[in-house]
Amino acid sequence: MTSNNPTAGYVSSTERFQPRITPTPDRLKGKIALVTGSGRGIGKAIALRFAREGADIIVIDRHPGPAEQAAEEIRQVGSRAQAFQTDVTDREAIEQTLHAALEEFSVVDILVNNAGIIVFGSLMECRTEDWDKMLAVDLTGAFYCTQIVGKQMIRQRRGGRMIHIGSTASLLPAPEQGAYCVAKAGLRMLSKTAAMELVRYNITSNLLCPEGAVTDINRDLLSDPAVMSKLEEAIPVGRLARVEEIAAAAAFLASDEAAYITGAELVHDGGATVSALWWR
């Protein structure tokens, strides 16, 4: 019997792709990185990549179990790590977390504003509570961390790196992602404004814009072969990214090699935005 499903038997090229990605040893040696939302997904991949390049990691997540697990994996690669159950929408909690982390690590050199959520849906149908929630995590939480950690970096007088995990939704509107696009576009301007204010302290601030990688944020949606194949077809490179590839880009932005880059976007999208007119 033949199937009517045109995507039956579809083998995702994202799944098939096995990247050969090698961390640069010692590139981040002696650095302390605070990564929000690093209990899983892209944030965890970034934390592990930084650790493999020699950094020690302050793991922040609102879920304590995954945060502890990530910290344990980081320790196994030979770096120091401490996990904190912290909600980035709680300003006081971030201040307390930084205070506690400094007792162990003394300084913080790198901030990755990664914690994020998405509630799919159009702007016209977006409920006020979903709007508030997305803006609170994806934008206000990043603002709190930028301000609190930024002031600490200024006091330390040893420069710093800020990497904000935006999205191609920071640059282009996307259907069914109304409030998310607005929050991520706001994050883009937060990054640029911080870059302008902090350049005199030798602190850079850049936005990293992934198009997509399979994580818990979108796993349900992308488990539908029809959705996945459509997306892969729409991305010129022909697949989504692996979280390790996004982490590699973050590690570059965190390194001394990126000292001259600030207020910029690193668009990590397999060519999706450059070809926006034909696929969106």
Q: With CA atoms as reference, report the closest residue to 82 among 113, 60, 52.
A: 60
Q: How many CB atoms sit inside 10 A of residue 278's CB?
A: 7
Near ligand NAD by CB under 6 A: residue from 39, 150, 160, 178: 39
- CA gap 278, 261 in Å, rounded: 30
265 binds ligand NAD (CB under 6 A): no
| Neighbouring residues of 141: CB distance < 8 A, sequence distance ≥ 6 | 36, 87, 88, 89, 113, 115
Near ligand NAD by CB under 6 A: residue from 62, 188, 192, 242: 62
- CA gap 180, 42 in Å, rounded: 17
* CA gyration radius, the chain: 19
Element (H, E) at 34: strand 32-36
Residues 203-232 that bind ligand NAD (CB under 6 A): 210, 212-213, 215-218
Binding-site residue total for ligand NAD (CB under 6 A)?
29
40 binds ligand NAD (CB under 6 A): yes
Q: Of 180, 192, 205, 255, which one is the catalytic site residue? A: 180
- Identity of the residue, 154 or 172, whose beta carbon is nearer to ligand NAD in the bound complex: 172
Residues 141-170 that bind ligand NAD (CB under 6 A): 141, 165, 167
Interacting residue ranges for ligand NAD, rule: CB under 6 A? 36-37, 39-43, 61-63, 66, 87-89, 114-117, 137, 141, 165, 167, 210, 212-213, 215-218
Q: Which residues are catalytic?
A: 167, 180, 184
